[in-house]
Amino acid sequence: MRIAINSLKGLGGTFMEWSLYYLTNCNKGKMYNFHKGWLPVVDNPVRMKDAHGHQKSHPIWEYTGEPIDEPLIKEFLEATKDLKGVIPFYPYVDGRWLGTDLYKVNEDMIRCLYQNDVKIFLIQPTVPYPYFSERSFQQDKDSLIFLRVWLKDQLASVKKIRELSSFRIITNAKKYLDGSRNYHDKVAPMVMDTFIDVEWQSNPEECMKTMCDKLDLEILPDRLTKWRPIADKWVMNNKKFSDWYEKEVSKINSAIVGNKKMALPELNIMHQIVIMAHLMRDHGKRLILPSDDFPLDTQMLHGLLK
């Protein structure tokens, strides 16, 4: 049985795939990897920001022209069509490189999976953040590669990227959520269930019970007991991530606008863009930075407001 776990952007599909393997102890504790075959399932995949200690099966829908380590989805489906056991995987469309409609391409992918007798579960975004795939960007250089593609400006300076992105991300997020709702309505007849992002990220146990019930797979009691503290840590990581957008950015911007001294953490390029965008949205203020540098001083930033 092949089981696809998918979302339009990173919303915790890796942890869902691992949880399905771990809670059911399917395949006698083994997971399928396209390149390496059957591997032991790790006992705990959770790291500082994600669950990428688990080597998920992550086939891609279309070749991007960039070097990739993962197989195409059609290659993965061909390789697994006669395999016995439970094979969860996390197929995806890399929207960064598409020149076409993201939702239409995802719909084509879902239809292909459905026609190949794959059981499909989706995680639907209902909040605007993450604005992109921030958790996947390990360094600013990764963010800048993506942002230059998104802005269609390969020569843009960091200063220009911050400015242009801060103008666009909130409007883009609103359009994205509208498109996401329409997309999920269209593909609903082909999927077994759709989990809402905030429900999955705050209460994964109920979601996993629902998934296993629909797949007729048993959650083993001893596994559930061991899984709960791991899930609690994963939920806490999600809360820290959402708190950045819902609480920390507001505190930082209030200090900047009020010319109050506040110690700032190290801010990556995505953090800087969000601060600038929320300043315009919540305070009607633009942060005009004269160079690529972003001062970690709220009072100095106050002097750059327009």
Q: Are strands 193-196 and 30-33 parallel, antiparallel or unpaired?
A: unpaired
Confidence of residue 52 (pLDDT cuts 50, 70, 90): confident
The residue type of 305 is L
Q: Report the pLDDT value the prediction gives residue 183, as an integer from 0 to 100.
A: 96
Q: Report the pLDDT value the prediction gives residue 99, as an integer from 0 to 100.
A: 54
Token readout for 46 is 């959770």
Q: Report the pLDDT value the prediction gives residue 62, as an integer from 0 to 100.
A: 77
Q: Cβ distance 103 to 176 under 8 Å?
A: no
**Centroid of chain to Cα 150:** 17
Q: How far apart are CA 20 and CA 163, in angstroms?
A: 42
The answer on pLDDT for 64 being more than 80 is no
Query: Would you call 83 helix, strand, or coil by DSSP?
Result: coil
**Helix and strand numbers, DSSP H then E, in the chain:** 11, 6
Q: Report the pLDDT value the prediction gives residue 49, as an integer from 0 to 100.
A: 66
User: Domain coordinates of the chain in residue numbers?
Assistant: 2-136+169-245
What's the burial of 4, exposed, middle or buried (CB within 10 Å: 0-12/13-18/19+)?
A: buried
Q: Strand locations in the chain, DSSP E?
A: 2-7, 30-33, 37-40, 87-89, 119-124, 193-196
Q: What does the chain come to in residues?
A: 306
pLDDT tens-digit series, residues 9-50: 889 999 999 999 999 999 999 999 999 999 999 999 988 667
Q: Report the pLDDT value the prediction gives residue 97, as an integer from 0 to 100.
A: 55
Q: Report the pLDDT value the prediction gives residue 133, as an integer from 0 to 100.
A: 72
pLDDT tens-digit series, residues 189-217: 999 999 999 999 999 999 999 999 999 99
Closest CA to 278 of 254, 262, 259: 254
Dihedral angle computed from the Cα positions of residues 208, 176, 126 and 140, in that order, rounded to the nearest 10 degrees: 70
Query: Would you call 284 helix, strand, or coil by DSSP?
Result: coil
Kindly provide the b/e burial profile for residues 204-234, where b requires at least 16 CB atoms within 10 angstroms of the residue's own CB.
bbebbeebbeebebebeeebeeebeebbeeb
pLDDT tens-digit series, residues 77-129: 999 999 999 999 999 987 665 555 789 999 999 999 999 999 999 999 999 98
Query: Would you call 3 helix, strand, or coil by DSSP?
Result: strand
Cβ-Cβ contacts under 8 Å for 92 (sequence gap 6 or more)? 6, 58, 59, 60, 61
Q: Cβ distance 61 to 73 under 8 Å?
A: yes
Confidence of residue 156 (pLDDT cuts 50, 70, 90): confident
Q: Cβ distance 89 to 57 under 8 Å?
A: yes
Query: Taking all residues of the chain, what is their mean pLDDT, rounded to a whole number?
Result: 92
Q: What percent of the chain has pLDDT above 90?
A: 76
Q: How far apart are CA 241 and CA 256, in angstroms?
A: 21
Cβ-Cβ contacts under 8 Å for 94 (sequence gap 6 or more)? 60, 61, 62, 64
The answer on pLDDT for 67 being more than 90 is no
Q: How far apart are CA 214 and CA 144, in angstroms?
A: 41
pLDDT tens-digit series, residues 222-235: 999 999 999 999 99
The answer on pLDDT for 66 being more than 80 is no
Q: How far apart are CA 46 and CA 175, in angstroms?
A: 32
Confidence of residue 53 (pLDDT cuts 50, 70, 90): confident
Token readout for 18 is 């691992």
